[in-house]
Every structure is written in C-alpha cells, then in structure tokens.
Amino acid sequence: MLSNSVSISMSDDDSNETNRIRPSRTRRKRKKPGHRTTFGELPRYFLRLLLRYWILLVLLLALGLLLFESTRIGTKSANSDHSQLKKHNPDSSGNKKNEGNLNRLDPTTKVIGGVRQRCLKLLPPEELEHLDILERIDSTSPVKKLVYLTGTDSSSSPVRGNGTRFNLFTGNQSFAERETSFQVSETVSVHCGFFNENGGFRIEDEDKKFMRSCQVVVSTCAFGGGDNLYQPIGMSNASTQKVCYVAFWDDVTLATQEAEGHKIGENGYIGKWRVVVVKDLPFMDQRLNGKIPKMLSHRLFPEAKYSIWVDSKSQFRRDPLGVLDALLWRTNSVLAISEHGARGSVYDEAKAVVRKHKATPEEVQVQINQYRRDKLPEDKRFNGKKALSEASVIVREHTPLTNLFMCLWFNEVVRYTSRDQLSFPYVFWRLRVLKNVNMFPVCTRKDLVNSMGHVRKAKPLEFSL
C-alpha cells in the first residue's frame, strides 16, 4: 500500500524564527517622564534662577533693609521720648504691668489629690451675711497683761542719728532690756513705740476717736507718696457695717494723690477707706515708718479685737469677717501670716537681701551675727511651721501674747534692718509659747489680695538741722 506523505524541510533559520513566535504581551504605555531635578543638578538649577531673577532679589533686600532701619529709628525715638518723659515726670508711667489684676474676684485654686480646690475656704455668701465678731477668752495664755514702757528720755534723738535707730518714739532700749523682754510672765513690760509724747506719729483727735471705735480693722499705709490706694472689694453687707478700713498717709502721699485727683472727702473718706494723715513721722527711712501701722495696730486701735494688715501694693478682695473665720476661728489660731514662697531659712534670706541690694551687707551682717550668737538654728521649720514669712498680709487677734509678739518684732526691725522677713523667724523662735500660728501658703495669699506691685518709689524724709 502506498502512503502519501509530504516532507517539509526546515532550515535552522526557520527553526529559530519559529521559536521566536510567542504569545504577544500587552505592553503598558509609558508616560513620557517629565524633567526631574536630581540632587547633583540643584546648584545649576539655583544658579539659573539667580541669573534670571537677580534684579528682583536685590530690590527685595534693599526694601527689607530700608524697613529695618526705619523701624529701628522709630523705636529709638520713642524710647528717647519715654526717657525724657520719665526724667521730667518719673511717676507718670505708674505700674502698667499688673493693671489687669485690679478688681479681680475670681478664686485662686490648687490641685489636691487630683481634685482642684479653692485655696481660701470661705463660707457661702448667705452665711457670711450672718457672721458676727467672735468673742474669745483664752485663760491658758501665759501672758495676761502688757505694760508699755514710756518716758521722758531726752537723750534719744528725735530721728535716727549718731549711728542708732532709736529715738523718742521708740525709746532707747538697751540690750539687757531686749533680753528681758523675751522672758515670759503674766505681766511683761516692753518697749512698743509711742515712748514719748514728743516722739512723733501724731494723729488728729478726731481720727483717734474714730480709731477707738473699731472692733475689727483692715489697715494699710503709704508714706512718701509711694503707692496708690486700692479700694477693697468682695465684702459682705454685714462686714461693711462692722469693719473699719483705715489707710495711713503722710503729707507727701496726700499731695501726690491730690495732684492725681484723689482727694479726701469732707467725711474723711476716699471710697471705703478712712484716710488718716499722720504728722511728724519718726524715722527718715519710710520703710521703718511703715512698720508702725503694720506691727503696732494694737497701739493704734486700742479697742480692736482683730486686725488685718494689707501691704499698700495689694488690693484686699475678700470679706474680712469671712477671712477671720477661715484663718483664725476655724483653725483655732491667734495669728495668721503669709509664708515665704521662695525660701525657708533666715540665713538664706539674708543672702538674698544683700544680693538684691535691699539692705547693706554691713547691717545685715550685724543682725545675722547676733542671731548666730543666740544660736538661732538654720531649721526651715519651727514647731511644724515654716520659719520664714512673706508678711504682706497679717491677720491676728489682739491678745496680750500676740501684742507682745508684734512689739518684739517691731523692736528688732528698729534695732537692726527694716527687712522684717529677717527678724520674724528669730522672734517666732524666741517666743516659744506662741504656738497657735497659721502660716498660710502662697496660694491663700493670692486668694486674699490682688497684687498690684509698687507704683512709685517712696520719697525719704528730709529733716532740717
């Protein structure tokens, strides 16, 4: 049988061609890449921009330089005008920094145990309206009576002189009398200002009569034209009827305030403050004159049961009876004073006083040397209380023991420096029987007052020879 077959010859080339025939793949259409600037091309790129726009760049630099110079010249001129204004009227600027604090009533708070609480725990407003002056009799006090030393010692200078700070107002307290005054007994005789009727700090009889009528008093002072008078706020109607507000001025402050339009009314008041103008201040140092109303309120207000002192740089913003209730009555304290926020040791404070030029190194050294000889410890706490006070707010009950404390404290600032933070720890340590003291923290002080800062520097007194 014949088979039909067909032979087909294939060359190597044909074989290779056949092998190259494969299923076609769909090719993605590539986008034409744009121009990309590589890292190496950056210098040339910026160079081309610079060559193209160099004129515009020069113009911008010139404009910026012109604006800078005009601003600098304008600022310099404004500062020069301000300097000239201060030169001719140094008090014209006042204290703008703290103006936003004026008349603020918002409470100061802190976080305790994860809960935000108010620093000063006042009674609710409806309870404050029914709060009355608490009558307390302390039969356990070791001091029952104070005898204030007086005399006609004409050897004392009427003002500080001859290397001594003693004068007819203070009496010439010897060092032996200083030591005796710290010895506690039922009756204590002590220097406490007002030593001689010719010693100064004279007050009109009408003002004295008013001051004798006060049972609770909030007081402040500004001598030498120093600070403005800030009206108290936040008081209840009950406190308005039961509390006296008294500001002590001298003739310099009176003239300064009248020049600014703040005149005392015919009734003796500016707003809520009864203004008492003091004549014949006993010290050339105005800070020392300010210690008299600050520390000797029991001498100025002999019938008062309680007093609240507020530095002139602050605005009192709480109800006075509510403050007495919160800081004295509920804590069973007779003295409440603001503790120091930055330091705790009197020796650290002495270094700070010198460093800040608030007293001369020599007078601070004399005081600290005496305290070291008396073995005042460097402890930052006495009887569980912080040793150092800031003392811009003082709340106290007028008892024989607290009155003695204030007399001793005043005598120390007379004998040494007028920086009362240095002498407070010493007197507190020496008078160990005074235990019911409430050293309240900084946040409580901030709740009590709006801090305004000092407006102007007090002018020192000038005495003719």
Which band of pLDDT confidence, cut at 50, 70 and 90, is reported for residue 56?
A: confident
Residue 98 is predicted with a pLDDT of 66
pLDDT over 90 at 140, yes or no: no
The reported pLDDT for the residue numbered 73 is 59
Q: Residue 117 has which token pair?
A: 């609480």
Structure tokens at 19: 């092998």
* pLDDT value of position 196: 95
For the residues of 323-370, what is the DSSP string, one character each? HHIIIIITTT-SEEEEEPSS---HHHHHHHHHHTTSS-HHHHHHHHHH
Which residue would you say has higher pLDDT here, 213 or 153? 213
Is the pLDDT score of 30 beyond 80?
A: no
To the nearest whole number, what is the mean pLDDT of the chain? 84
Residue 296 contacts residue 223 (beta carbons within 8 Å): no
Half-sphere CA count of 8, side-chain side, radius 13 A:
3
Q: Of all helices (H) and strands (E), which one includes residue 244?
A: strand 243-249
CATH 3.10.50 fits 120-451, yes or no: no
CB atoms within 10 A of CB 161: 13
The angle at the Cα of 400, spanning 411 to 202, to the nearest 5 degrees, equals 55
Please give the backbone phi and psi of residue 313, each rounded to the nearest 5 degrees, phi first.
-80, 5
Q: Which residue has the higher pLDDT, 330 or 44?
A: 330
What tokens does 301 get?
């207000």
Q: What is the pLDDT of residue 27?
A: 53
Confidence of residue 36 (pLDDT cuts 50, 70, 90): low
Mean of pLDDT values over 292-312: 98
Tracing tokens 């110079």 back to the chain, one arrives at 69
Separation of alpha carbons 282 and 289, rounded Å: 7
pLDDT of residue 280: 97
Question: By mean pLDDT, which of 91-100, 180-189, 258-267, 428-437 is the weakest?
Answer: 91-100
The pLDDT, as a whole number, for residue 266 is: 95
**Mean pLDDT value of segment 419-424:** 94
Answer whether residue 90 shows pLDDT above 50: no
pLDDT in the model for residue 19 = 45
The structural domains of the chain, with segments of one domain joined by +, span: 120-451
Closest CA to 306 of 243, 246, 247, 248: 243
pLDDT band at 465, cuts 50/70/90? very low
17 pLDDT band (50/70/90 cuts)?
very low
Per-residue confidence at 55, pLDDT binned at 50, 70, 90?
confident
The pLDDT assigned to 158 comes to 52
pLDDT given for residue 340 in this prediction: 86
Mean pLDDT of 228-239: 95
Contact present, 294 and 221 (Cβ < 8 Å): yes
Q: What is the pLDDT of residue 52?
A: 75
Residue-level pLDDT at 122? 96
Share of the chain above pLDDT 70, in %: 81
How long a stretch of residues is the chain?
A: 465
For CA atoms 364, 407, 297, 414, the dihedral sign is negative
Instruction: Compute the CA torsion angle 382, 432, 181, 350 (nearest 10 deg).
Output: 0
In this predicted structure, the answer to whether residue 182 has a pLDDT above a threshold of 80 is yes
Q: 3-state class of 155 per DSSP?
A: coil
Least confident stretch, 17-31, 109-123, 433-447: 17-31
Question: What φ, ψ does residue 266 adopt, rounded to 5°?
Answer: -65, -25
Name which residue leads in pLDDT, 464 or 98: 98
Least confident of 20-29, 104-113, 162-171: 20-29
pLDDT of residue 329: 97
Quick: pLDDT tens for 322-375: 999 999 999 999 999 998 877 878 899 999 999 999 999 999 999 999 999 999
According to DSSP, the β-strands at 273-277 and 335-339 are unpaired
